[in-house]
Amino acid sequence: MRVLSGIQPSGRLHIGNYFGAMRQHLQLQAENDGFYFIADYHALTSGPKPEDLRQNKLAVAMDYLALGLDTNKTVFWCQSDLPQVTELCWILSCVTPMGLLQRCVSYKEKIEQGISPNHGLFAYPVLQAADILIFDSNLVPVGADQKQHIEVTRDIAGYFNNTYGETFVIPKEHILESVAVVPGLDGRKMSKSYNNTIEIFEPEQSVKKKVMSIVTDSTPVEAPKNPDKCNVFALLKLVSSKEELAEWEKKYRQGGMGYGQAKKRLAELLIEYFKPYRKKRAELEQNADYVRKVLQEGAQKAKAAAQKTLERARKAVGID
């Protein structure tokens, strides 16, 4: 199966990114034909500063490589290195109904978050469809709340195939293993836009400081506590063994334990979890040219696959 996924370089990656998607992307590469890319064209919709975008692209690449992305099994590149994608995006735009885009929830959500509306944000699903269809992707891993993105891609491919004949492989969504929303420091979903994140490769002292600042309720130390409503416990679920987690749940429900104890242990576990990857990440920071070379070589492989699909589409519409 060919599996495709992209991630925006909109900031330093955090543990919500990792446990929500990245970990499973890395697991899927073992038994599938992986195509993973850094979605820098998509990132432009939020108007990043040019230098920030350059730095974030390189940082995302380093993070993925440090965490175990295997370039012998997975093609890894930057979206902007493939002009074939933007050409296909235009071709697909010409068969995409306005009504389909107007129904997309993600555009409405972005506007509600205060992002200034622009055509790129509105037409985002068409570029996303081009990303997926140009590689004859079979599976696209997404969270359950992102299923509409793949449904739109399937619709666009269907409109094209019905108009010009069978041209594109119709992809299927691969719903990622259910992971409860990773809470941020303030209890909301961990997100760069909320400034409530713990970065994957954040300095250890900073990790400790942030964990100790996680918002909790005012339940007294001696009183029982509900682990199901605690942000600290929700994060402990991600990095604790089943046995240790059971012990923490028991302590919560019995009372006599302060949240500070749980926070201290959470900081230790987070640092311990990512410690094996820190050395590799530090090595990559000292060898940025190697990282750029990996992306360039990945782009060449991706172009070869993309060109074949683009030629089919061009021939189908009569501009070959």
Q: pLDDT tens across 5-51, in order?
A: 999 998 899 999 999 889 999 999 989 999 999 999 999 988 999 99
pLDDT reading at 101 higher than 90: yes
Instruction: Please tell me which residue in 57, 110, 210, 225 is annotated as part of the active site.
Output: 110
Supply the pLDDT for residue 112.
84
Confidence of residue 265 (pLDDT cuts 50, 70, 90): very high
pLDDT digits (tens, 9 = 90+) for 152-193: 999 999 999 999 999 999 999 887 765 667 999 999 999 988
* Catalytic choice (57, 73, 192, 225): 192
Residue 315 catalytic? no
List, for residues 107-142, the tens digit of each pLDDT value: 888 788 787 888 999 999 999 999 999 999 999 998
Q: With pLDDT > 70 as the criterion, what percentage of the chain qualifies?
A: 98
Q: For domain 192-282, give the CATH number.
A: 1.10.240.10
Question: How many whole angstroms separate alpha carbon 139 and alpha carbon 253?
Answer: 42
For residues 267-286, average pLDDT: 97
* Whole-angstrom distance, CA of residue 35 vs CA of residue 141: 11
CB contact at 8 A, 66 and 281: yes
**Extents of the domains making up the chain:** 2-181+287-317, 192-282
User: Any catalytic annotation for residue 210?
Assistant: no
Instruction: Check for a shared fold between 2-181+287-317 and 192-282.
Output: no
Supply the mean pLDDT for the chain: 94
Using DSSP's 3-state secondary structure scheme, residue 34 falls into strand
The Cα–Cα gap between 125 and 230 comes to 36
CB 167 within 8 A of CB 312: yes
189 catalytic per annotation: yes
For position 116, what pLDDT does the model report? 81
2-181+287-317, superfamily in CATH? HUPs (3.40.50.620)
Active-site residue, selected from the candidate residues 189, 280, 301, 303: 189
Q: Are 182 and 231 in contact (CB under 8 A)?
A: no
pTM of the predicted structure, to 2 decimals: 0.91
Q: In the prediction, which pLDDT does 308 show?
A: 98
Q: What is the pLDDT at residue 155? A: 97
